[in-house]
Amino acid sequence: MANDLTMKAVLLQKDSAGHGRAVVQEVPRPEAGYGELVVEMKACGLCGTDIEKIRGEYTASMPVLGHEAVGVITSVGRGVAGFREGDRVFPHHHISCGSCYYCRKGNETMCAEFRRSNLDPGGFAEFFRVPMSNVSAGGVLRLPRGLGFELGALTEPVGCCIRGIDKTGVGRKDSVLVAGAGPVGMMHSLILNWMGAKVMVSDVSEPRLRFAEEAGVGNVIDARKSDVPRQAKELTGGRGPDLVIVASGSPKAVVQALGAVRKGGKVLLFGAPFRGSVLDYDISEAFNSELAILTSYGTTEKETRRALKLLGSGEIDFAPLITHRFPLADFDDAVEASMSGAAMKVLITP
């Protein structure tokens, strides 16, 4: 920590071509204005979208780095009720207005306000400010007693998985292929396995395939050596899985998912595609097979509450997903570890 007036934070800098780099800088320490909170960060997960923002490949929201943060409230602004200094919290970075057309239709993540709100200057900072809109709308949740900061930092991604799974209507004993054995792919797999679904996982990364095997969530398909659609169908009596969750932004994984899912089945696009992604796919195949193609972006406070409850219950062991930890000062090393494929979930600490 620099001093009482400044702090260290990871900020995104971009050149004229849109290429970015993350820089650890000393910046003014935020203050809590009316209705706001200041939180001391204790852990913040590194998400694939953070890396895409650095590369200039992610355009879904403002270029703020770090949104899987948890910490301790150090300052409570005037007008804030229900929170006090010392509270251990998860503050969601996005919040919807709750009253617009999209919110009334249950599409809260499509609300215009949802992507405008964010943590300041971001979750990768020694301290960050939570805006009044996020506080007043219920976006700040207390961590359950006994839940540590590391597992608490999984609240946002687990919430995203819960929201996506809810959209599919998947049931017990349904067959599911999760295309992508990265952090969110494994979160999906663990949740689905806990729900009683029959899970298959595919990937091209040797470390991630090995991790999936050791996790024991279901059948593991090496996409480097196997025809994924063919093997998925062999494992389901020739039909194909009832649901395929694409936990990757790869267009090839999307095409494989469409080729693997059974007739009348569902494909959930969960991984964020990079800008300019195009599919080489005959859409008549989806029509003739009555495929349902769904997408899921983000999460809301409804799912993050459920995620915190699930994490706090210990019914699913998410702890092995956290494989690497780096201090703020070593943020570049954290990004490198995440991109290498050798890491599963990477956490940043002060």
Task: Assess if CATH 3.40.50.720 describes domain 162-295.
Answer: yes
Whether residue 209 is predicted with pLDDT greater than 90 in this model: the reply is: yes
In this prediction, residue 134 carries a pLDDT of 97
Quote the mean pLDDT of the chain.
94
In this prediction, residue 309 carries a pLDDT of 97
Give the mean pLDDT of 65-75.
Answer: 97
Give the mean pLDDT of 225-243.
Answer: 97
Closest listed residue to residue 347, CA positions, set 143, 120, 129, 47: 47
Would you say the CATH fold of 162-295 matches that of 6-154+318-349? no
- As to burial, measured by CB atoms within 10 angstroms (0-12 exposed, 13-18 middle, 19+ buried), residue 56 is middle
Give the mean pLDDT of 134-144.
Answer: 97
In this prediction, residue 63 carries a pLDDT of 76
Percentages (nearest 5) of helix, strand, coil residues in the chain: 30, 25, 45
In this prediction, residue 93 carries a pLDDT of 96
Around Cβ 19, how many Cβ atoms within 10 Å?
12
Domain 6-154+318-349: give its CATH superfamily: Medium-chain alcohol dehydrogenases, catalytic domain (3.90.180.10)
The torsion defined by the Cα of 140, 316, 110 and 277, in degrees rounded to 10, comes to 130
* pLDDT, tens digit (0-9, with 9 covering 90-100), for 290-326: 999 999 999 999 999 999 999 999 999 999 999 999 9
In this prediction, residue 1 carries a pLDDT of 47
Secondary structure of residue 201 in the 3-state scheme = strand
Amino acid at 28: P
Alpha-helix residue ranges (DSSP H) falling in the chain: 48-55, 101-104, 132-136, 149-152, 155-168, 183-195, 206-215, 228-234, 251-260, 283-288, 301-313, 331-340
Plot region of 254 (φ>0 → left; ψ -120 to 50 → alpha; else → beta): alpha
The answer to whether 230 touches 207, Cβ cutoff 8 Å, is no
Biggest distance spanned by C-alpha atoms of the chain: 64
The answer to whether 66 touches 123, Cβ cutoff 8 Å, is yes
In this prediction, residue 10 carries a pLDDT of 96
What does 46-100 look like in DSSP terms, one character per residue? PPHHHHHHHHT---SS------EEEEEEEEE-TT--S--TT-EEEE-S----SSS
Can you say how many angstroms the Cα of residue 252 is from the centroid of all Cα atoms in its chain? 21
Determine the length of the chain.
350
Whether residue 18 is predicted with pLDDT greater than 80 in this model: the reply is: no
User: What are the Cα distances from residue 74, in Å, to 36, 123, 142, 181?
Assistant: 11, 15, 14, 37
* pLDDT, tens digit (0-9, with 9 covering 90-100), for 88-120: 999 999 999 999 999 999 999 999 999 899 999
In this prediction, residue 198 carries a pLDDT of 98
The answer to whether 278 touches 251, Cβ cutoff 8 Å, is yes
Give 55's pLDDT tier (boundaries 50, 70, 90): confident
Secondary structure of residue 278 in the 3-state scheme = coil
Give the mean pLDDT of 49-78.
Answer: 85
Structure letter (DSSP) for residue 276: T
Give the mean pLDDT of 122-143.
Answer: 97
247 phi, psi to nearest 5 deg: -95, 45
In angstroms, the CA 259 to CA 285 distance is 9
Give the mean pLDDT of 60-65.
Answer: 71
The answer to whether 348 touches 190, Cβ cutoff 8 Å, is no
% the chain with pLDDT above 70 = 96
Give the mean pLDDT of 256-265.
Answer: 98
Q: Where are the domains of the chain?
A: 6-154+318-349, 162-295
